Amino acid sequence: MTIISISLNERILKDIDKLEKELGFSGRSEVIRASVRMLIADKRENSKLKGIIDAALLVIHDDKYSEEVSNIRHKYDDIVKTQVHNHLANHKCFEIFILNGIADRIISVTEAFQTNKKIDYTKLIVS
């Protein structure tokens, strides 16, 4: 098995340690491997999407990055039908985007949020 090195902030490391204990993983590496497998499975499922689809995109971010979220959202005005913005505790925001459009565009907006370091959580739900 190949060994790689990654940098993680303290918050993520604490979350990994918590998952390890709560879910019974044998170590941090197992938690990370499971996480990577889930991301790969999501990507594989998204690649099967074709045609015009309806979806909901859930996004959680720090309040100070609302402008960043808005900038991404405006690049996809053609598929965003509704946006709900809600303030959470600890200066976090929860966004729900109701999407309708070509699958490739919906995958593209999802990936724009997923790969942005300022976004805490992104989840695409397809109807």
Question: Domain with 72 in it: what CATH number?
Answer: 3.30.70.1150
Chunked in runs of 10, what are the mean pLDDT values of the chain (127 residues)? 90 92 94 93 88 97 95 97 95 97 96 95 94
Q: Tally the domains of the chain.
A: 2
Task: Give just the sign of the alpha carbon dihedral 101, 105, 107, 108.
Answer: negative
**For residue 3, is it within any domain?**
no
Query: Residue 74 contacts by C-beta under 8 Å, 6 or more apart in sequence?
Result: none
Which pLDDT value is given to residue 43? 87
Q: What is the DSSP letter of 51?
A: S
pTM (two decimals): 0.81
Same domain, 93 and 36: no
Which pLDDT value is given to residue 11? 87
Which pLDDT value is given to residue 42? 87
Same domain, 88 and 101: yes
Long-range contacts formed by 80-83: CB under 8 A, 24+ apart: 80/109
**For residue 93, is it within any domain?**
yes
Instruction: Please choose, from the candidates 61, 39, 65, the residue with its C-alpha nearest in 3D space to the C-alpha of residue 124.
Output: 39
Task: Give just the sign of the alpha carbon dihedral 119, 124, 125, 127.
Answer: positive
Beta bridge partners of 85: 95
Rounded to whole angstroms, the Cα distance separating 51 from 95 reads 25
- Domain that includes residue 37, residue range: 10-46
Same domain, 68 and 85: yes
**For residue 67, is it within any domain?**
yes
Same domain, 101 and 75: yes
